[in-house]
Amino acid sequence: MKFDRRRFIKRLLVAIASVEALFLIKGGITNKARLSEDKKLIRVGKSDSYEKNQVYPFLSHHFYLKRFEDGGFMALSIKCTHLGCVINHNTKTGGFNCPCHASQFSPKGEVISSPATRPLDYYPMTIKNGELYVDTSVVKRRKSFLKSQLTYV
Ligand code: FES
């Protein structure tokens, strides 16, 4: 068998290029995943910047931040659990109304009036360095309101 130097160098270059391409693809995927995870963890700030028994809309991030009378926080999804329309905060009742088929929800997100049959979903919250974060990458479904769904500082 005759040693073909040109063919050997060509194959070597193709092999090196393939290995580099694999590293680039892997790195790109990892960075993209890290970026999208960061974008879904929404920093909403210090707890003392929110008054008790009030609702604060973060509509571009798809949640209402509710602070309850006992100081607990809940990030309620803005999506109606009937067919997914965007709910409105009812400033008179403290609850939420759906403009599409008139479902109504309590301030805790429980169904007051159908056609929705289950409470509003919510997003888990965490505290880092005294600041509140809402993790919009995880949507929590529930059958009823439980105090354990609230986040306390
Ligand atoms: S989508 Fe909200 S009541 Fe139908």
Q: 116 with 82: CB under 8 angstroms? A: yes
Residue 7 to residue 33: CA distance in whole angstroms: 39
Domains located in the chain, CATH noted: 42-149 (2.102.10.10)
Q: What is the DSSP letter of 91?
A: T
Instruction: Check residue 130 and give its pLDDT.
Output: 85
**Is the pLDDT at 27 greater than 80, yes or no?**
no
Phi, psi of 151 (to 5 degrees): -115, 130
Quote the ligand 1 centre to 86 CA distance (angstroms). 8
Quote the ligand 1 centre to 145 CA distance (angstroms). 20
Token pair for residue 141?
């479904």
Residue 108 to residue 147: CA distance in whole angstroms: 10
Element (H, E) at 16: helix 5-40
Pick the range with the lowest mean pLDDT from 11-20, 47-56, 99-108, 116-125.
11-20
Quote the ligand 1 centre to 121 CA distance (angstroms). 14
Q: 64 with 56: CB under 8 angstroms? A: yes
Nearest to 75 by CA among 139, 130, 147, 31: 139
Is the minimum distance from the CB of 147 to ligand 1 under 6 angstroms? no
Residues 137-147 pLDDT 10s: 999 999 999 99
Quote the ligand 1 centre to 87 CA distance (angstroms). 8
Taking the CA of residue 102 as reference, the ligand 1 atom at the shortest distance is 3
Taking the CA of residue 99 as reference, the ligand 1 atom at the shortest distance is 2
Q: What residue has token string 């694999």?
A: 22
